[in-house]
Amino acid sequence: VSDFDAASRRAVLGLTGSALLAGCGALPSPSPFGGEAETTLDGAAIRSVVAGDGPVVPERIPVEVGTERIEAGRARVRELLAVAPLPLDRSEIPNGAIRAELTDAAERAREDLDAAAAAPSPITALRHLRFARMRAGRVAGGWRYVDEGLRRGDLRDDADRLADDVAAFRAERSYAGAPDGAVRSVLVHATVGKLAGTAAGHATTGGGDRPGEWRSNPVSVGELVGDLERGGAALTDARHVYDRYVGSLDAARDLHARFAAAGADLLDLLADRSGDLPSSDASPAAVVDGLTENSPGGLALEGLLDDVGYRRSLTDPRDEGDVATVVVRAHGRLARVGGAEALVAALREGTRFRPASAADVRSLRKTTLAALEGAVRDAPHPDLAREAAADLAGRVRYADRELARVGDDTAADRLAMDLREYVRVRYVARALPEAGRAVADALRPEPEADGG
């Protein structure tokens, strides 16, 4: 039982005599309905809790990304940004909204370049560069609309070529890996698979049956150029990571069958475990007596149950039967299932994560960050944990940014939507090591097949 549990009990029970605390941040006022009091929190204190940089968990893969790959990405961004005569002025693009859109894309491409330069890991730098290329592509494409008369139809060949290239890459790639390092192998191959999926998803000129007038202007044609640019970059990155990895292996083995079997096992395990969880359609009160929708704990549970319910399939059509990606997705989902189980248990014990003061918010955030750190530190395979923890860190940063905007006196209930992210991250992070062990078990070779 953590400090925070005690704090939330104080919020419920400690109302009498609370006038003594007035001015110290917590100003509970009795609810007219005789339920839990409406608590007002000191916004300035909360803003100070989230001041500064949020957590970042750099993704890492056991592949050495070539510096020449990163330099090539930067050069490509600069090349694209040189297409349009920036800064654009009125005489070049009289329509101010279109001009503003392209100008903004150029600025953001430069921000992405800066982010790539400051990236904590090469694989993250490549990600920033893909977005930089996408945004710089928007500017270049928008300008080519104006300057050369580039239109959507002109890009169909580029899109088809990209789709063909992705298909060719998928057909020729193997699942070569190190037999004694299957977890590392699956992580690399899932990274490759997701990049190929991104490329495939952008290899289109955007069909759809909606009338097309909104798609024939410099901004939308620029977006298409940017999408194709990003898709092309994703495929190049996929090839790069793949080639580097396979080239680094001493004794490579095709692990396709092992990945496929592990994926199937993990899906079975997930089906079992998810079956024991409450239905995502159940009301919070039906899951935990007295639980309401607007507590951070209730909201976090709702979100997790939604995610692990079968509404979202584990197999994404974009993966195109990518056996490695299935395993890595299952890892993330197992952690969410484990997190949901532990959260249900905590809620049944009466914890609601309702802050009675800014100090409670600080304590919740601190516990969350500790859980996030522990998830990577205690994981049997830290790089696999990082893959999931990077996403969790993003949730914390999101909540931080939202909480940085709270007003001076804010009702505690109004923070529930943001605080639920801390709750969720805390529980999912704690479940990551176990999920990592399950993945490692599933990837262990069958004695008959692989042993001696």
Partner 1 sequence: MSSPPRDPENVARDPEVLALRNAGPDPIVGVREADGEGRGSDADDREHAQRGLLASPEAAALLEFSGIDGRERERARAFLDGTDYAEATVYADRRRVGECYRLRLCWVIWSESQVRTQYARTYRDWDVACSADRDARTLRLIRIPAALDPGAVSSYGSGVHTRGCVPPRRGGVETGGDTSNGTENASNGTENASDRRPPGGRP
Which amino acid, residue 228?
A: L
Query: Which H/E stretch holds residue 177?
Result: strand 176-177
* Contacting residues for 332 by C-beta, under 8 A, at least 6 apart: 387, 388, 391, 435
Which amino acid, residue 198?
A: T
Beta strands of 225-270 (E only): which ranges? 253-254
Which amino acid, residue 25?
A: G
Question: Is residue 131 within the footprint of partner 1 (CB under 8 A)?
Answer: yes
Which amino acid, residue 106?
A: A
Footprint (CB under 8 A) of partner 1, residues 2-41: none
Sign of CA dihedral 48, 340, 2, 380: negative
- Are residues 237 and 130 in contact, defined by beta-carbon separation less than 8 angstroms? yes
- Tell the smallest beta-carbon distance from residue 135 to partner 1 (Å): 8
Question: Is residue 450 within the footprint of partner 1 (CB under 8 A)?
Answer: no
Q: Which is nearer to partner 1, 41 or 134 (CB)?
A: 134
Q: Which is nearer to partner 1, 275 or 451 (CB)?
A: 275
Q: Which two tokens stand for residue 439?
A: 């993945």
- Tell the smallest beta-carbon distance from residue 53 to partner 1 (Å): 13
- Are residues 331 and 440 in contact, defined by beta-carbon separation less than 8 angstroms? no
- Tell the smallest beta-carbon distance from residue 25 to partner 1 (Å): 27
Q: Which of 49, 80, 219, 337 binds partner 1 (CB under 8 A)?
A: 219
Question: x/- binding map, residues 180-209, to partner 1, per CB under 8 A?
Answer: ----------------------------x-
Q: Which is nearer to partner 1, 327 or 347 (CB)?
A: 327
Q: Which of 68, 214, 451, 452 binds partner 1 (CB under 8 A)?
A: 214
**Torsion angle in degrees (nearest 10) through CA of 373, 376, 379, 382:** -160
Query: Under the phi-then-psi rule, with left for phi > 0, alpha for psi from -120 to 50, and beta for the rest, what region is 321?
Result: left
- Tell the smallest beta-carbon distance from residue 89 to partner 1 (Å): 12
Closest CA to 232 of 358, 133, 356: 133
Closest CA to 142 of 92, 189, 183: 92
Question: Is residue 61 within the footprint of partner 1 (CB under 8 A)?
Answer: no
- Are residues 408 and 43 in contact, defined by beta-carbon separation less than 8 angstroms? yes
Q: Which two tokens stand for residue 175?
A: 């699942």
Is residue 272 classed exposed, middle or buried when 0-12, 13-18 and 19+ CB atoms within 10 A define those classes? exposed
- Tell the smallest beta-carbon distance from residue 178 to partner 1 (Å): 25
Q: What DSSP character marks residue 445?
A: P
Q: Which is nearer to partner 1, 244 or 397 (CB)?
A: 397
**Count of residues engaged in binding partner 1, rule: CB under 8 A:** 45
Closest CA to 8 of 278, 284, 367: 367
Q: Which is nearer to partner 1, 287 or 300 (CB)?
A: 300
- Tell the smallest beta-carbon distance from residue 220 to partner 1 (Å): 8
* Contacting residues for 271 by C-beta, under 8 A, at least 6 apart: none
Query: Which H/E stretch holds residue 42?
Result: strand 40-42
Tell me the β-bridge partners of 254. Answer: 176
- Tell the smallest beta-carbon distance from residue 318 to partner 1 (Å): 12
The whole-angstrom separation of Cα 439 and Cα 258 is 12
Footprint (CB under 8 A) of partner 1, residues 394-413: 394-395, 397-399, 401
Question: Is residue 155 within the footprint of partner 1 (CB under 8 A)?
Answer: no
Q: Which is nearer to partner 1, 144 or 253 (CB)?
A: 144
Footprint (CB under 8 A) of partner 1, residues 253-312: 303, 306-307, 312
Tell me the β-bridge partners of 42. Answer: 409
Q: Which of 15, 45, 74, 217 binds partner 1 (CB under 8 A)?
A: 217
Q: Which is nearer to partner 1, 125 or 356 (CB)?
A: 125
Q: Which of 391, 413, 434, 450 binds partner 1 (CB under 8 A)?
A: 391
Q: Which is nearer to partner 1, 42 or 307 (CB)?
A: 307
Footprint (CB under 8 A) of partner 1, residues 315-344: 316, 329-330, 332-333, 336
- Tell the smallest beta-carbon distance from residue 413 to partner 1 (Å): 19
Question: Is residue 422 within the footprint of partner 1 (CB under 8 A)?
Answer: no
Q: Which of 41, 84, 146, 346 binds partner 1 (CB under 8 A)?
A: 146
Question: Is residue 210 within the footprint of partner 1 (CB under 8 A)?
Answer: yes
- Are residues 336 and 350 in contact, defined by beta-carbon separation less than 8 angstroms? no
Footprint (CB under 8 A) of partner 1, residues 74-103: 90, 93-100
The whole-angstrom separation of Cα 131 and Cα 371 is 30
- Tell the smallest beta-carbon distance from residue 186 to partner 1 (Å): 15
Judged by the rule CB under 8 A, the positions of this chain that interact with partner 1 are 90, 93-100, 112, 131, 134-135, 145-146, 208, 210-215, 217-219, 223, 303, 306-307, 312, 314, 316, 329-330, 332-333, 336, 391, 394-395, 397-399, 401, 421
